[in-house]
Amino acid sequence: MMSISEIRKATKQSLKGNWGLAIGGMVLAYIILTAVAMITFIPILGAIAYYVFAGPFMIGVTWFFLALTRQEKPEIGYLFSGFQTFGRNLLAAVLVFVFTFLWSLLLFVPGIIKSFSYSQTFMILRDDPNISPLDAITESRHRMNGHKGRLFGLILSYIWVFFIPAIVMLIFAIIAMASTAIFQDGLNSNTYDSIYNSNDFASIFLIVFLLVYILMSAIMLGLAIWIYPQVLVASAVFYDDLYASTGTFSEDMNATSYQPEDDTTFGAVPPVETPEVPVEPEDAPHFENKTWGSESVVAPESPTTTEAPVKEEPIDDTISEAVRPSQPEETTTEPKNDDEQK
Protein backbone atom coordinates (compact mmCIF):
# COMPACT_ATOMS: atom_id res chain seq x y z
CA MET A 1 0.00 0.00 0.00
CA MET A 2 1.52 3.29 -1.14
CA SER A 3 1.73 6.27 1.19
CA ILE A 4 0.54 9.75 0.25
CA SER A 5 4.07 10.93 -0.49
CA GLU A 6 4.69 7.90 -2.72
CA ILE A 7 1.46 8.56 -4.62
CA ARG A 8 2.52 12.18 -5.16
CA LYS A 9 5.87 11.02 -6.53
CA ALA A 10 4.14 8.55 -8.85
CA THR A 11 1.84 11.37 -9.99
CA LYS A 12 4.78 13.55 -10.95
CA GLN A 13 6.35 10.64 -12.79
CA SER A 14 3.12 10.00 -14.72
CA LEU A 15 2.83 13.67 -15.71
CA LYS A 16 6.45 13.87 -16.83
CA GLY A 17 6.29 14.60 -20.53
CA ASN A 18 2.48 14.71 -20.44
CA TRP A 19 1.88 18.12 -18.87
CA GLY A 20 0.71 19.65 -22.14
CA LEU A 21 -1.80 16.88 -22.76
CA ALA A 22 -3.06 16.99 -19.17
CA ILE A 23 -3.47 20.77 -19.02
CA GLY A 24 -4.95 20.89 -22.52
CA GLY A 25 -7.49 18.23 -21.65
CA MET A 26 -8.39 19.99 -18.41
CA VAL A 27 -8.84 23.40 -20.05
CA LEU A 28 -10.89 21.92 -22.91
CA ALA A 29 -13.14 20.07 -20.46
CA TYR A 30 -13.68 23.28 -18.47
CA ILE A 31 -14.53 25.27 -21.61
CA ILE A 32 -16.97 22.62 -22.85
CA LEU A 33 -18.79 22.38 -19.51
CA THR A 34 -18.98 26.17 -19.22
CA ALA A 35 -20.32 26.50 -22.76
CA VAL A 36 -22.96 23.84 -22.17
CA ALA A 37 -23.98 25.54 -18.93
CA MET A 38 -24.41 28.85 -20.78
CA ILE A 39 -26.40 27.29 -23.62
CA THR A 40 -28.85 25.43 -21.37
CA PHE A 41 -30.40 28.59 -19.94
CA ILE A 42 -33.93 27.18 -19.64
CA PRO A 43 -34.67 26.76 -15.90
CA ILE A 44 -35.71 23.09 -15.71
CA LEU A 45 -35.04 21.57 -19.11
CA GLY A 46 -31.69 23.32 -19.29
CA ALA A 47 -30.57 21.81 -15.99
CA ILE A 48 -31.69 18.35 -17.08
CA ALA A 49 -29.91 18.70 -20.42
CA TYR A 50 -26.75 19.88 -18.67
CA TYR A 51 -26.60 16.88 -16.33
CA VAL A 52 -27.44 14.48 -19.17
CA PHE A 53 -24.38 15.79 -20.99
CA ALA A 54 -22.14 16.42 -17.98
CA GLY A 55 -22.50 12.92 -16.49
CA PRO A 56 -21.03 10.86 -19.36
CA PHE A 57 -18.61 13.67 -20.21
CA MET A 58 -17.09 13.72 -16.71
CA ILE A 59 -16.78 9.94 -16.89
CA GLY A 60 -14.85 10.41 -20.14
CA VAL A 61 -12.59 12.96 -18.42
CA THR A 62 -11.92 10.45 -15.64
CA TRP A 63 -11.09 7.74 -18.19
CA PHE A 64 -8.82 10.16 -20.04
CA PHE A 65 -6.67 10.81 -16.98
CA LEU A 66 -6.70 7.13 -16.01
CA ALA A 67 -5.32 6.27 -19.45
CA LEU A 68 -2.79 9.09 -19.09
CA THR A 69 -1.65 7.68 -15.76
CA ARG A 70 -1.12 4.25 -17.30
CA GLN A 71 1.01 5.77 -20.08
CA GLU A 72 -1.51 4.80 -22.76
CA LYS A 73 -1.01 8.16 -24.55
CA PRO A 74 -4.69 8.93 -25.11
CA GLU A 75 -5.75 11.41 -27.75
CA ILE A 76 -7.68 14.54 -26.82
CA GLY A 77 -10.82 13.03 -28.33
CA TYR A 78 -10.77 10.38 -25.61
CA LEU A 79 -12.43 12.98 -23.38
CA PHE A 80 -15.69 11.99 -25.09
CA SER A 81 -15.20 8.24 -24.54
CA GLY A 82 -17.92 8.26 -21.91
CA PHE A 83 -20.52 8.64 -24.65
CA GLN A 84 -19.60 5.26 -26.21
CA THR A 85 -21.76 3.50 -23.60
CA PHE A 86 -24.04 6.45 -23.01
CA GLY A 87 -26.93 4.75 -21.19
CA ARG A 88 -24.72 2.79 -18.81
CA ASN A 89 -22.54 5.77 -17.91
CA LEU A 90 -25.48 8.13 -17.57
CA LEU A 91 -27.19 5.72 -15.18
CA ALA A 92 -24.00 5.41 -13.14
CA ALA A 93 -23.62 9.20 -12.90
CA VAL A 94 -27.28 9.62 -11.90
CA LEU A 95 -27.06 6.90 -9.23
CA VAL A 96 -23.90 8.38 -7.72
CA PHE A 97 -25.51 11.83 -7.64
CA VAL A 98 -28.76 10.55 -6.10
CA PHE A 99 -27.06 8.44 -3.43
CA THR A 100 -24.72 11.27 -2.46
CA PHE A 101 -27.60 13.75 -2.37
CA LEU A 102 -29.70 11.49 -0.16
CA TRP A 103 -26.84 11.09 2.31
CA SER A 104 -26.32 14.85 2.29
CA LEU A 105 -29.90 15.34 3.45
CA LEU A 106 -28.92 13.88 6.81
CA LEU A 107 -25.90 16.11 7.32
CA PHE A 108 -23.23 17.64 5.14
CA VAL A 109 -20.47 15.39 6.49
CA PRO A 110 -22.15 12.04 5.60
CA GLY A 111 -22.56 13.30 2.05
CA ILE A 112 -18.83 14.01 1.81
CA ILE A 113 -17.97 10.60 3.28
CA LYS A 114 -20.22 8.80 0.81
CA SER A 115 -18.78 10.78 -2.09
CA PHE A 116 -15.41 9.22 -1.23
CA SER A 117 -17.06 5.79 -1.00
CA TYR A 118 -18.37 6.15 -4.56
CA SER A 119 -15.20 7.76 -5.93
CA GLN A 120 -13.94 4.59 -7.68
CA THR A 121 -17.15 3.90 -9.59
CA PHE A 122 -16.26 5.57 -12.90
CA MET A 123 -12.84 3.93 -13.12
CA ILE A 124 -14.33 0.51 -12.32
CA LEU A 125 -16.71 1.00 -15.25
CA ARG A 126 -13.73 1.42 -17.59
CA ASP A 127 -11.83 -1.64 -16.37
CA ASP A 128 -14.89 -3.90 -16.30
CA PRO A 129 -17.13 -3.24 -19.34
CA ASN A 130 -19.58 -5.97 -18.27
CA ILE A 131 -20.31 -4.67 -14.78
CA SER A 132 -23.58 -2.89 -14.12
CA PRO A 133 -23.64 0.66 -12.69
CA LEU A 134 -25.11 -0.48 -9.38
CA ASP A 135 -22.54 -3.27 -9.01
CA ALA A 136 -19.77 -0.78 -9.79
CA ILE A 137 -21.04 1.49 -7.01
CA THR A 138 -21.18 -1.47 -4.62
CA GLU A 139 -17.66 -2.56 -5.50
CA SER A 140 -16.36 0.99 -5.08
CA ARG A 141 -17.97 1.15 -1.67
CA HIS A 142 -16.35 -2.11 -0.56
CA ARG A 143 -12.94 -1.21 -1.97
CA MET A 144 -12.95 2.12 -0.15
CA ASN A 145 -13.77 0.48 3.17
CA GLY A 146 -10.98 1.71 5.45
CA HIS A 147 -9.35 3.90 2.76
CA LYS A 148 -11.57 6.98 2.63
CA GLY A 149 -9.35 8.91 5.05
CA ARG A 150 -6.27 8.18 2.95
CA LEU A 151 -7.94 9.50 -0.21
CA PHE A 152 -9.15 12.58 1.68
CA GLY A 153 -5.62 13.27 2.91
CA LEU A 154 -4.26 12.82 -0.62
CA ILE A 155 -6.67 15.35 -2.13
CA LEU A 156 -6.17 17.76 0.77
CA SER A 157 -2.41 17.70 0.18
CA TYR A 158 -3.07 19.32 -3.22
CA ILE A 159 -5.97 21.69 -2.65
CA TRP A 160 -4.76 23.35 0.55
CA VAL A 161 -3.05 26.05 -1.52
CA PHE A 162 -6.48 27.32 -2.59
CA PHE A 163 -7.13 28.38 0.99
CA ILE A 164 -4.49 31.15 0.84
CA PRO A 165 -6.09 33.31 -1.89
CA ALA A 166 -9.53 32.47 -0.50
CA ILE A 167 -8.56 33.80 2.93
CA VAL A 168 -7.06 36.94 1.37
CA MET A 169 -10.26 37.57 -0.58
CA LEU A 170 -12.32 37.04 2.57
CA ILE A 171 -10.26 39.58 4.51
CA PHE A 172 -10.60 42.23 1.82
CA ALA A 173 -14.32 41.49 1.51
CA ILE A 174 -14.71 42.24 5.21
CA ILE A 175 -12.74 45.47 4.77
CA ALA A 176 -14.95 46.45 1.81
CA MET A 177 -18.06 45.87 3.89
CA ALA A 178 -16.60 48.01 6.67
CA SER A 179 -15.74 50.80 4.22
CA THR A 180 -19.29 50.73 2.88
CA ALA A 181 -20.61 51.14 6.43
CA ILE A 182 -18.29 54.10 6.98
CA PHE A 183 -19.49 55.66 3.75
CA GLN A 184 -23.10 55.33 4.87
CA ASP A 185 -22.26 56.96 8.19
CA GLY A 186 -20.68 59.87 6.32
CA LEU A 187 -23.81 60.36 4.23
CA ASN A 188 -25.93 60.45 7.36
CA SER A 189 -23.77 63.18 8.95
CA ASN A 190 -24.38 66.91 8.41
CA THR A 191 -20.87 68.11 7.77
CA TYR A 192 -19.38 68.28 4.29
CA ASP A 193 -15.95 67.25 5.52
CA SER A 194 -17.20 63.98 6.98
CA ILE A 195 -19.05 63.14 3.75
CA TYR A 196 -16.02 63.99 1.64
CA ASN A 197 -13.54 62.13 3.84
CA SER A 198 -15.75 59.05 4.22
CA ASN A 199 -16.41 58.98 0.48
CA ASP A 200 -12.72 59.05 -0.31
CA PHE A 201 -12.03 56.36 2.30
CA ALA A 202 -14.73 54.06 0.95
CA SER A 203 -13.74 54.62 -2.66
CA ILE A 204 -10.12 53.74 -1.97
CA PHE A 205 -10.98 50.47 -0.26
CA LEU A 206 -13.51 49.53 -2.91
CA ILE A 207 -10.90 50.03 -5.61
CA VAL A 208 -8.32 48.06 -3.64
CA PHE A 209 -10.84 45.29 -3.04
CA LEU A 210 -11.66 45.02 -6.74
CA LEU A 211 -7.97 44.85 -7.64
CA VAL A 212 -7.29 42.20 -5.01
CA TYR A 213 -10.36 40.24 -6.13
CA ILE A 214 -9.20 40.24 -9.74
CA LEU A 215 -5.67 39.27 -8.72
CA MET A 216 -6.78 36.45 -6.41
CA SER A 217 -9.22 35.14 -9.02
CA ALA A 218 -6.42 34.98 -11.58
CA ILE A 219 -4.20 33.20 -9.05
CA MET A 220 -6.92 30.66 -8.24
CA LEU A 221 -7.53 30.03 -11.94
CA GLY A 222 -3.83 29.39 -12.50
CA LEU A 223 -3.73 27.09 -9.47
CA ALA A 224 -6.75 25.19 -10.78
CA ILE A 225 -5.10 24.63 -14.17
CA TRP A 226 -1.92 23.43 -12.47
CA ILE A 227 -3.34 21.44 -9.53
CA TYR A 228 -6.54 19.87 -10.80
CA PRO A 229 -4.79 17.64 -13.38
CA GLN A 230 -2.52 16.45 -10.58
CA VAL A 231 -5.55 15.62 -8.44
CA LEU A 232 -7.09 13.52 -11.24
CA VAL A 233 -3.83 11.69 -11.96
CA ALA A 234 -3.22 11.13 -8.23
CA SER A 235 -6.74 9.70 -7.93
CA ALA A 236 -5.94 7.30 -10.79
CA VAL A 237 -2.69 6.24 -9.09
CA PHE A 238 -4.65 5.72 -5.88
CA TYR A 239 -7.17 3.58 -7.78
CA ASP A 240 -4.49 1.32 -9.29
CA ASP A 241 -2.75 0.96 -5.93
CA LEU A 242 -6.04 0.17 -4.21
CA TYR A 243 -6.93 -2.45 -6.83
CA ALA A 244 -3.53 -4.09 -6.43
CA SER A 245 -4.09 -4.27 -2.67
CA THR A 246 -7.74 -5.33 -2.50
CA GLY A 247 -8.68 -6.71 -5.93
CA THR A 248 -12.33 -7.24 -6.77
CA PHE A 249 -15.06 -7.51 -4.17
CA SER A 250 -15.09 -11.33 -4.36
CA GLU A 251 -11.34 -11.39 -3.69
CA ASP A 252 -11.66 -8.62 -1.14
CA MET A 253 -13.11 -10.93 1.50
CA ASN A 254 -9.72 -12.63 1.87
CA ALA A 255 -7.72 -9.41 1.74
CA THR A 256 -6.23 -7.83 4.82
CA SER A 257 -7.69 -4.44 4.00
CA TYR A 258 -11.27 -5.71 4.25
CA GLN A 259 -12.20 -7.96 7.15
CA PRO A 260 -15.94 -8.32 7.91
CA GLU A 261 -16.87 -8.53 11.56
CA ASP A 262 -18.87 -11.75 11.07
CA ASP A 263 -17.47 -14.17 8.50
CA THR A 264 -20.55 -16.39 8.72
CA THR A 265 -22.56 -13.79 6.84
CA PHE A 266 -20.47 -14.51 3.75
CA GLY A 267 -20.90 -18.30 3.98
CA ALA A 268 -17.49 -19.04 5.51
CA VAL A 269 -17.10 -21.95 7.94
CA PRO A 270 -16.59 -20.68 11.49
CA PRO A 271 -13.21 -21.61 12.97
CA VAL A 272 -14.87 -23.42 15.89
CA GLU A 273 -16.40 -26.08 13.65
CA THR A 274 -13.23 -27.09 11.81
CA PRO A 275 -11.85 -29.53 14.50
CA GLU A 276 -15.03 -31.63 14.20
CA VAL A 277 -13.99 -33.11 10.83
CA PRO A 278 -13.53 -36.92 11.36
CA VAL A 279 -9.92 -37.85 10.73
CA GLU A 280 -9.55 -40.73 13.21
CA PRO A 281 -9.50 -43.64 10.66
CA GLU A 282 -6.37 -42.22 9.05
CA ASP A 283 -4.64 -41.84 12.41
CA ALA A 284 -5.44 -45.41 13.59
CA PRO A 285 -2.84 -47.79 12.09
CA HIS A 286 -4.37 -50.97 13.68
CA PHE A 287 -7.23 -50.83 11.17
CA GLU A 288 -5.07 -50.88 8.06
CA ASN A 289 -4.18 -54.66 7.96
CA LYS A 290 -7.67 -55.98 8.77
CA THR A 291 -9.20 -57.94 5.92
CA TRP A 292 -12.61 -58.19 7.58
CA GLY A 293 -13.31 -54.50 7.97
CA SER A 294 -13.16 -51.26 6.00
CA GLU A 295 -11.35 -48.08 6.83
CA SER A 296 -14.59 -46.37 7.82
CA VAL A 297 -15.09 -48.61 10.90
CA VAL A 298 -15.55 -46.57 14.05
CA ALA A 299 -12.85 -47.06 16.65
CA PRO A 300 -15.05 -48.09 19.65
CA GLU A 301 -16.47 -51.07 17.71
CA SER A 302 -13.05 -52.52 16.85
CA PRO A 303 -12.42 -54.50 20.12
CA THR A 304 -15.65 -56.52 19.76
CA THR A 305 -15.17 -57.28 16.10
CA THR A 306 -11.56 -58.44 16.45
CA GLU A 307 -12.63 -61.35 18.74
CA ALA A 308 -14.90 -62.86 16.08
CA PRO A 309 -12.16 -64.84 14.25
CA VAL A 310 -10.99 -66.32 17.56
CA LYS A 311 -14.43 -67.65 18.42
CA GLU A 312 -14.69 -69.66 15.21
CA GLU A 313 -12.31 -72.42 16.42
CA PRO A 314 -14.30 -73.45 19.53
CA ILE A 315 -17.45 -73.44 17.44
CA ASP A 316 -15.87 -75.99 15.08
CA ASP A 317 -14.89 -78.18 18.05
CA THR A 318 -18.41 -78.30 19.42
CA ILE A 319 -19.75 -79.21 16.06
CA SER A 320 -17.27 -82.08 15.70
CA GLU A 321 -18.21 -83.38 19.16
CA ALA A 322 -21.88 -83.33 18.19
CA VAL A 323 -21.13 -85.45 15.17
CA ARG A 324 -19.06 -88.07 17.09
CA PRO A 325 -22.06 -89.95 18.64
CA SER A 326 -22.92 -91.23 15.21
CA GLN A 327 -19.55 -92.96 14.99
CA PRO A 328 -20.23 -95.49 17.77
CA GLU A 329 -23.35 -96.57 15.94
CA GLU A 330 -21.24 -97.31 12.92
CA THR A 331 -18.79 -99.23 15.12
CA THR A 332 -21.61 -101.24 16.73
CA THR A 333 -22.94 -102.24 13.40
CA GLU A 334 -19.57 -103.48 12.32
CA PRO A 335 -19.48 -106.25 14.95
CA LYS A 336 -22.91 -107.38 13.93
CA ASN A 337 -21.70 -107.80 10.45
CA ASP A 338 -18.78 -109.86 11.72
CA ASP A 339 -21.11 -112.26 13.60
CA GLU A 340 -23.22 -112.76 10.58
CA GLN A 341 -20.18 -113.63 8.60
CA LYS A 342 -19.17 -116.15 11.18
So what's the pLDDT on residue 54?
92
CB 260 within 8 A of CB 267: no
The answer on pLDDT for 251 being more than 60 is: no
Is pLDDT above 80 for 232? Answer: yes
Q: Are 185 and 199 in contact (CB under 8 A)?
A: no
Q: In the prediction, which pLDDT does 48 show? A: 83
Highest-scoring range by mean pLDDT, 120-129, 174-183, 241-250, 265-274? 120-129
- 239 pLDDT band, cuts 50/70/90, is very high
Mean pLDDT of 65-87: 94
Residue 12 in this model has a pLDDT that exceeds 60:
yes
Contact 90, 55 (CB under 8 A): yes
Q: 42 or 307: whose pLDDT is higher?
A: 42
Give, for 129, the enclosing helix (H) or strand (E). none
Residues 6+ apart with CB under 8 A from 107: none
166 falls in which pLDDT band (50, 70, 90)? Answer: confident
Averaged pLDDT score across all residues of the chain:
75
Q: Where are the alpha helices (DSSP H) in the chain?
A: 4-15, 19-39, 45-69, 86-106, 108-117, 121-127, 133-143, 148-159, 163-188, 192-246, 249-252, 280-283, 302-306, 308-323, 326-341
Instruction: Find the mean pLDDT for residues 91-100.
Output: 95
